[in-house]
Amino acid sequence: MNPITNHVGTSAPAKIILFGEHFVVYNKPAILASIDKRVHVDVSVRNDNKIVIKSNMGFGGSFDEKKRKQLQTKSFKSLVQPILLAVTDTMEEFNASVGLDLNIRSEFPYGVGLGSSAACSVAIIAAVGTLFGKLNRKKICNISLNAEKLVHRNPSGADSAICSYGGLILFNKNNNMKSINSDIDLELIVINSGIKRTTGKLVSNVKQKFERDADMFMDLANTSENITIQALKAIKDKDYDELGALMTLNHSLLYKLGVSKNILDKLVEIALHNGALGAKITGGGGGGCIIVLTNKHFKNKIMKEMKGYETFVSKVERDGVIIK
Ligand code: MEV
């Protein structure tokens, strides 16, 4: 198929996991939100068959067919690989094969639990798909799972869902996802520990834990499910205190699961000591970011205490992937 247009711009949001990370891989529910930081993608058709990637995320390059095939056989090292996979999977969907210039600009760091790989692939699939026709959110989300497998090894699909649909969602690997209709106004602070890690490795470590002691693991997983169900009620009731307490409880569960780190526990403690309603790891853990639920009164105090760490205030973003 030939392109119907030569240039498309899209964007997709960063995500946070409010409740249920890791256990979501084992069919337990999770609550996710998209936040007001985005990955922007511009794609243009080239005259040759190269895919040329430029980004502000420290990766890029020019890839002809031979180079692309070579990269396909290698294990995950760089975001370039899932990006190329997302591009070729999308073109296959339309029976197309053209050269492309891809410009990727992210407003948030990658490798710190904010869903950069999912946001990149979702925005890219929407952009490349729109060159040839139309893809709905469900299709975009499904195509991105292949690229996510490279990064997360055994992804639940939660990151792809939130980056595609946006807002606040209840995600379950089996029953897919539901939007949470609530006008709750979450005052969130994201704090980056600065420690980069790969989610795939953490997901594999958790799998080993599951294989070593399935009973203990399922106890933790059932507790995570209970916390998530209570959190859903707290969101619907707009009970901020309860929601914060449940976030902190979720953090202790992730600590028991072994995906926390001293520095993450310390950041959680500083936030709570300075008036936060709740705080926890977000995403795979092992480094990356924590999220803090606060209110207007304590926001500045908490941010001031996080000296030396990248810190930003976030709101829940309603829009998932958009075509500009
Ligand atoms: C990563 O953002 C979230 C995990 O639960 C993995 C997944 O759901 O695929 C750790």
Q: What is the CATH number of the domain that holds 261?
A: 3.30.70.890
DSSP state of 236: H
Does any domain span residue 24? Answer: yes
Asked if residue 149 and residue 39 are part of one domain, the reply reads: yes
Asked if residue 171 and residue 38 are part of one domain, the reply reads: yes
Q: Which tens digits make up the pLDDT trace of 250-308?
A: 999 999 999 999 999 999 999 999 999 999 999 999 999 999 999 989 999 999 999 99
CB-based burial, 295-316: b 16+ in 10 Å, e otherwise: eeebbeebbebbeebebbbbeb
Evaluate: CB of 159 within 6 angstroms of ligand 1.
yes
Cα 156 to ligand 1 centre (Å) = 6
Does any domain span residue 84? Answer: yes
Pocket test for ligand 1, best of 31, 120, 156, 204 (most atoms within 8 A of CB): 156
Domain of 282? Answer: 187-315
Cα 133 to ligand 1 centre (Å) = 31
Q: State yes or no: pLDDT of 221 exceeds 90.
A: yes
Asked if residue 26 and residue 162 are part of one domain, the reply reads: yes
Asked if residue 161 and residue 235 are part of one domain, the reply reads: no
Asked if residue 202 and residue 173 are part of one domain, the reply reads: no
Does any domain span residue 266? Answer: yes
Asked if residue 278 and residue 176 are part of one domain, the reply reads: no
Asked if residue 144 and residue 198 are part of one domain, the reply reads: no
Count of the separate structural domains present in the chain: 2
Does any domain span residue 321? Answer: no
Whether 159 sits among the annotated catalytic residues: the reply is yes
What lies within 8 Å, CB to CB, of 12 at 6+ separation is: 38, 39, 41, 118, 119, 120, 122, 123, 126, 163, 164, 320, 321, 322
Cα 122 to ligand 1 centre (Å) = 16
Does any domain span residue 134? Answer: yes
Q: State yes or no: pLDDT of 152 exceeds 90.
A: no
CA distance 248 to 305: 18
Catalytic-role residue among 89, 159, 185, 319: 159
Evaluate: CB of 118 within 6 angstroms of ligand 1.
no
For ligand 1, what atom is nearest to the CA of residue 148?
A: 9
pTM of the model: 0.96
Q: State yes or no: pLDDT of 88 exceeds 80.
A: yes
What lies within 8 Å, CB to CB, of 151 at 6+ separation is: 76, 79, 82, 117, 198, 199, 200
Asked if residue 270 and residue 236 are part of one domain, the reply reads: yes
Asked if residue 18 and residue 120 are part of one domain, the reply reads: yes
Asked if residue 207 and residue 149 are part of one domain, the reply reads: no
